[in-house]
A and B are shown apart, each in its own frame.
Chain A
Amino acid sequence: MNTMQDMRRGAVASIPMIIGGIPFGLLFGSLASSYGLSPWFAVAMSAFVFAGSAQFVALGLIALHAPIWVIVSTTFIVNLRHLLYAADLVKFVKHLPMSMRIVMGFGLTDETYAAVRPMYEVGSANEKNGHKVYLGSFLSFYVMWNVTTVLGVLSGELIPGMSEWGLEFAMVATFIGIITPYLKHKAFWLCLLSAGVSSIILSDLPNNLGLLVSAVIGVAMGFVSDSSNKTISKSEASMQEVSK
Chain B
Amino acid sequence: MTLWQGTIIILGMFAVTFGVRFVLFARADKVVMPTFIEKALKFVPVAVLTAIITPMILMPTQQIDISLSNPWLLGALAAFVVGIWRQQQLLTILVGVLVFFVAKYGFSL
Contact = CB atoms under 8 A, between A and B. Distances in A.
A134 to B, nearest CB: 11
A41 to B, nearest CB: 5
A128 interface: no
A153 interface: no
Contacts of A51: 13, 17
B96 A169 contact: yes
Interface residues of B, number: 70
Contacts of A170: 93, 97
A180 B22 contact: no
Interface of B is mostly: helix
Interface stretch (A3-11, A23-31, A73-81, A140-148): A73-81
A101 B30 CA distance: 13
A175 B52 contact: yes
Contacts of B40: 219-220, 222-223
Interface in A141-196: 166, 168-183, 187-188, 191-192, 195-196
Interface in B1-32: 1, 3, 5-6, 8-26, 28-29, 31
B89 to A, nearest CB: 4
Nearest to A90: B28
Given A180-B84, A223-B40, A88 B55 contact: no
Given A87-B41, A169-B97, A72 B9 contact: yes
Contacts of B43: 187-188, 191, 218-219, 222-223, 226
A239 interface: no
B22 A106 contact: yes
A211 B51 contact: yes
A117 B45 contact: yes
A181 B52 contact: no
Contacts of A173: 75-76, 79, 92-93, 96-97, 100
Given A166-B100, A173-B75, A174-B93, A72 B59 contact: no
Interface of A is mostly: helix
B104 A88 contact: no
B13 A71 contact: yes
User: Which of the listed residues B6, B19, B56 has the most CB atoms from chain A within 10 Å of its own CB?
Assistant: B6
Interface string A67-107: 01001110110011111111111110111101001101110
A101 B1 contact: no
B50 A196 contact: yes
Given A71-B9, A169-B75, A177-B79, A196 B51 contact: yes
B109 interface: no
Interface string A187-216: 110011001111110010000001100111
Given A95-B29, A176-B92, A49 B17 contact: yes
A228 interface: no
Contacts of A49: 10, 13-14, 17
Closest 5 A/B residue pairs (Cβ)? A218-B47, A180-B83, A105-B22, A173-B96, A222-B43
Interface of B: 1, 3, 5-6, 8-26, 28-29, 31, 33, 36-59, 64, 71-72, 75-76, 79-80, 83-84, 87, 89-90, 92-93, 96-97, 100-101, 104
